[in-house]
């Protein structure tokens, strides 16, 4: 069951990444795909941060902050590229 969930989740995330970057896909679908990615990665980051704070684990907190920084850097890079 875990393997099936992992495969389905991978298809959703990879499909969303491909749809966001493809200019042939309609804008509304790209926006919805970007929202899916934002929810997935934002939820994962929030979960790690919450677990890190609850368990007083510095490593989980650092990983969550690193994921947040990585996501923000990637977003800004793509935003500046499409703004031109």
pLDDT tens per residue, range 15-41: 877 777 778 888 888 888 888 888 888
Report pLDDT for 55.
Answer: 93
Report whether 48 contacts 59 (CB < 8 A): no
Helix axes 27-54, 2-21, angle to 10 degrees: 130
């Amino acid at each position: 069951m875990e393997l099936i969930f992992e495969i389905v989740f991978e298809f959703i995330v990879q499909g969303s990444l491909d749809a966001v970057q493809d200019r042939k896909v309609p804008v509304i679908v790209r926006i919805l795909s970007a929202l899916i990615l934002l929810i997935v990665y934002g939820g994962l980051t929030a979960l790690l941060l919450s677990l890190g704070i609850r368990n007083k684990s510095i490593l989980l907190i650092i990983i969550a902050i690193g994921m947040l920084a990585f996501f923000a850097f990637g977003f800004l890079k793509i935003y500046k590229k499409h703004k031109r």
